[in-house]
Amino acid sequence: MDTKEHLKSVSDASFDTEVLKAEQPTLVDFWAPWCGPCRAMGPVLEEIARDYEGRLNVVKVNVDENPKISILYGVRSIPTLLLIKDGEIRETRVGMLPREQLAAIVDRSLQ
């Protein structure tokens, strides 16, 4: 199965509906195609999206294409990961994370 189908791209226009009003917690990856660490996080995010399917949304925001939402959330370095639940930021992490650490953050949000 292609795990990329579990990751959804959201934009400035769709962020409110896809993330803030989502019924499930959402892990938001602020990234850019030219960012090496962002590309390296891709497989980890795909695993998390697959492993938590039905309990967690995992979305990607390209900072080059969606400057409004990036500025609104103060994204200065990428990759930046936000875990948003009930419209509020529950966790913020900047930089690459190992799968185990990211899973621990997700598990806390699902409790």
Q: Return the active site residues.
A: 35, 38
Give 52's DSSP letter: T
Provide Rg for the chain, Cα atoms. Answer: 13
Residue 68 φ then ψ, to 5° = -60, -50
30 close to 84: Cβ distance less than 8 angstroms: no
